[in-house]
Amino acid sequence: MIDRSVPRRVLPAPESRGVATRPAALPVRPRTGRLLVLATVFVCAACGLVYELELLALGSYLIGDSVTQASIVLSVMVFAMGVGSLLAKRLRRRPAFGFGAIEAALALIGGLSAMALYASFAWLGESRPALVAFSFAIGVLIGAEIPLLMVLIQRIRRQDAGGAVADLFAADYVGALVGGLAFPFLLLPLLGQLTGALLTGTVNTLAGGGLVLWLFRRDLSRRSRWLLIGVNVTVVAVLASATVLADDFERVARRAVYGGEVRVAVQTGVQELVLTGPGTGSPRSLDLYLDGRLRVSGYDEYRYHEALVHPAMTGPHSRVLVLGGGDGLAAREVLRYPDVASVTVVELDPGVVRLARTDPMLSRLNAGAYADPRLGVVTQDAFRWLRGPGTRDRFDVIVSDLPDPGITPSTKLYSQEFYGLAARALRPGGRIAVHAGPLAGRPRTYWTVETTLRAAGLRTAPYSAGGRLTGFAAGPDRTLGGAGPPQDWGFVLAARAAVPELRVDRDTPGLRSLSTRALQDATRDAERTRLDGLPPSTLPHPRYS
């Protein structure tokens, strides 16, 4: 029985639009059927947003620069949704079958998207084409949902177009809210990126297939019904098999990315930590990757950390602050000075600190820095911590051992506002040493850091130091374990009162790669590459790319 309480006065006759005219023969009352359709819209919207966030997160992790990856995914997906809405016109004559087929395809493609993206990065060394392709395919399928659902819900109970659209979009937006919250707070921490996407695809299949094969089963021919059953069973079987094999796939892909000696792989709430190299022997064979980027190479990390720390330690250095540096290697260099009274390490990720404390190879490399009673740890965002009370005029030396400024999450830690807070935390005569990215490789980024420090009221001395190539974990043909081609590390030493002098004390304990003459040569070489007229980077206008 069709509810005729709502007059048919808004929509033109369906026959004039070429859409199926007969009311749906449902196994439940129309009101219940309508609620089931809206519940399916809710579930499918949640799944669709999870796919979108999965692509955003994995694209940023594998490729870097989260702003660029978010722009690519969102713009391609929104465009593709428009394409999908237009293509859905061809399916309105068979809306139930069309919706069932679309949901099965969306569940399969969305569920496997994270695994396919990671495989592309691991074995091909490039994942951006796959990111664009999956964003487009998922967007087309999501865009085709609403037009077909509009036809289905109108066949249950006719109502004015505005009311039907309002109901569908209300369910869609609430579902998107739930999916958006479930991804970072439930799926990602509990299941990880790969298994989370596969489980979402399974839920998507059951919701879409269940609605069509039960509620609208009488709208399907016998052949269509069995075809949809076969397709949905196949999709569930593929996703279930992929879920069972996800751990093995991840191990194989990780070996393709990092080489055969992956010893530790941990997904913290902040990033993925990977340690490669043997568990015994020389720590020079150790490599530490954070979110796919090589951050520590035991082969030559001492060149980086000596150049970062020791020029800042030539003045007063009783109280030292290390921003980042949870691996303990910058703290190791600071603690070489017996007259250092205290070292405070501010590290966002407690997982890095835990690894530096407990892993035998990494703790050997940092010389057991965390066992020194002079060292204290704060696990907090460095920007937020510097804004807190009790930091003004507190430290003689600040060492900024942070990821490259070109990595979007680090951009605020290279801003004028951040350096203003850091300068406020310095005692009179104190110094700040900043890792500013490669001078030769990205001179514009480097000199933007230097300009930003000056804009914060600091006087600067630029310099660089040589080392092994660092950056993204490469594909199987470009493994980064062991010695590699040289690359410079760029640094800036800054102070409030006057331009700091670049030198190191001759009696500095344990110094292996640094001398005052080398630093003076490095600063002269750096000045030859200076780019004048660059604007500083601020929070509302970041200048790094």
Question: Would you name the residues annotated as active-site residues?
Answer: 401
Angle subtended at Cα 219 by Cα 215 and Cα 222, rounded to the nearest 5 degrees? 105
Count of C-beta atoms within a 10 Å radius of residue 494: 29
- For 227, residues 6+ apart whose C-beta sits below 8 A from its C-beta are none
User: Half-sphere exposure of residue 295, counting CA atoms within 13 Å on the CB side?
Assistant: 24
Distances, alpha carbon 182 to alpha carbons 36, 47, 53, 178, 349, in Å: 22, 10, 10, 6, 22
At 221, give phi and psi (nearest 5°): -70, 165
- With a CB cutoff of 8 Å and minimum separation 6, the contacts of 179 are 45, 46, 47, 48, 49, 50, 53
Tokens of 287: 């490599």
End-to-end CA distance of the chain: 62
d(CA 514, CA 51): 49
Q: Counting Cβ atoms within 10 Å, is residue 80 exposed (0-12), middle (13-18) or buried (19+)?
A: buried
B/e letters for 436-460, b = 16+ CB within 10 Å, e = fewer, are: bbbbeebbebbbbbbbbbbbbebeb
Q: In angstroms, rounded to a whole number, what is the distance separating the alpha carbons of residues 105 and 196?
A: 18
Beta strands 395-401 and 319-324 are: parallel
DSSP 500: P
Residue-level length of the chain: 545
